[in-house]
């Protein structure tokens, strides 16, 4: 049987709700001090009230917004919506205190506990995995240049059709995901395939808002990474591709000039890209 891969929102954006719940321990506790809650909740409501006044929101519009909010929750798309339209601002605040390699948003499709792999490796992939071969090399080091052997490069990315394993039912679990340990010089060489741009599922409430507003639903092609070493602050980031479509208009507003790879085509036809990660002390 040849099924055309056509994951619906229920098969991707919605699954991110279960993945988010499972990740509670990884994220640490939020500040729930009463004064903090009161200040932030007031500021948020003030902002909403301001929009209503400034744009003279009508009753039908208010009720349509209420229905849409209900739909996002019932469709399990809060992680998708919030990571696309809000997370970048939280990350910008975090960035104020971060040195070394730039971070960017995690997004909704990280899954912990993937296969551990040696410094020179290929990511788990299907025998007939579609797409151009991409060899991603680099070095993990401290801010002072010390190579960090035994560091972890936790990588995940979409396939050549733009779908993520664990969130699209036709892809085997763990596909194009892995946790690489660097060699004693902090180096790694990961063979994988070039990911495609990612399209926000158009059949769910997030996609419906995007369509209703006449926006586009695309993220440029990207690799997701967490890079960690004991005693250093973990970096969560993404790497993009020079000349890639949507690089200048990411729907998730998560690109940064410092995070763009320029792959070279080797004589054997494979594309090779290099990026070094600089971690600051924890």
Q: Does 198 bind ligand MBD (CB under 6 A)?
A: yes
Q: What is the enclosing helix (H) or strand (E) of 192?
A: strand 187-193
Find all residues with CB under 8 Å of 44, minimum gap 6, and list them.
Answer: none
Give the residue closest to ligand MBD by C-beta.
Answer: 107
DSSP state of 189: E
Q: Does 20 bind ligand MBD (CB under 6 A)?
A: no
Please say whether the beta carbons of 233 and 281 come within 8 A: yes
Q: Does 107 bind Fe ion (CB under 5 A)?
A: yes
Parallel, antiparallel or unpaired: strands 222-228 and 152-157: antiparallel
Q: Does 187 bind ligand MBD (CB under 6 A)?
A: no
To the nearest whole angstrom, how small is the minimum distance from the Cβ of residue 104 to ligand MBD?
8
Please say whether the beta carbons of 50 and 113 come within 8 A: no
To the nearest whole angstrom, how small is the minimum distance from the Cβ of residue 251 to ligand MBD?
8
∠ CA 49-53-58, nearest 5°, is 100
Nearer to Fe ion, 72 or 105 (CB): 105
Kindly indicate which of the ranges 90-98, 104-112, 186-194, 244-252 contains the residues binding Fe ion, using the contact rule CB under 5 A. 104-112
Q: Does 79 bind ligand MBD (CB under 6 A)?
A: no
Choose which of 123, 148, 190, 252 interacts with ligand MBD (CB under 6 A): 252
Distance CA 263, CA 204 (A): 34
Q: Does 195 bind Fe ion (CB under 5 A)?
A: no
Nearer to ligand MBD, 72 or 105 (CB): 105
* Residue numbers 98-157 binding ligand MBD by CB under 6 A: 105, 107-109
Kindly indicate which of the ranges 33-41, 101-109, 118-126, 179-187 contains the residues binding Fe ion, using the contact rule CB under 5 A. 101-109
Find all residues with CB under 8 Å of 20, minimum gap 6, and list them.
Answer: 78, 79, 108
Quickly count: other Cβ atoms within 10 Å of residue 261's Cβ: 21
Rule CB under 5 A: which residues touch Fe ion? 107
């Amino acid at each position: 049987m040849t099924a055309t891969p056509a994951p619906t929102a229920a098969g991707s954006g919605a699954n991110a709700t279960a993945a988010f719940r499972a990740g509670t321990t990884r994220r640490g506790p939020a500040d729930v001090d009463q004064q903090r809650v009161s200040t932030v909740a007031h500021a948020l409501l003030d902002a909403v009230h301001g929009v209503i006044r400034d744009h003279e929101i009508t009753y039908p519009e208010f009720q349509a917004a209420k229905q849409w909010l209900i739909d996002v929750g019932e469709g399990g798309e809060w992680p998708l919506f919030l990571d696309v339209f809000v997370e970048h601002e939280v990350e910008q605040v975090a960035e104020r205190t971060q040195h070394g390699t730039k971070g960017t948003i995690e997004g909704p499709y990280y899954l912990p506990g993937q296969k551990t792999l040696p410094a020179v490796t290929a990511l788990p992939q299907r025998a007939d995995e579609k797409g151009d071969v991409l060899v991603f090399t680099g070095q993990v080091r401290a801010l002072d240049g010390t190579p960090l052997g035994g560091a972890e490069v936790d990588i995940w990315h979409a396939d050549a059709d733009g779908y993520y394993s664990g969130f699209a039912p036709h892809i085997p679990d763990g596909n194009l995901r892995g946790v690489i340990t660097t060699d004693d010089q902090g180096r790694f060489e990961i063979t994988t395939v070039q990911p495609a741009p990612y399209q926000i599922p158009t059949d769910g409430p997030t996609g419906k808002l995007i369509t209703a507003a006449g926006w586009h639903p695309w993220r440029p092609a990207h690799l997701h990474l967490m890079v960690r070493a004991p005693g250093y602050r973990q970096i969560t980031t993404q790497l993009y591709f020079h000349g890639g479509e949507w690089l200048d208009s990411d729907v998730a507003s998560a690109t940064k000039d410092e995070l763009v790879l320029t792959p070279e085509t080797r004589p054997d036809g494979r594309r090779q890209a290099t990026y070094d990660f600089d971690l600051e002390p924890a």
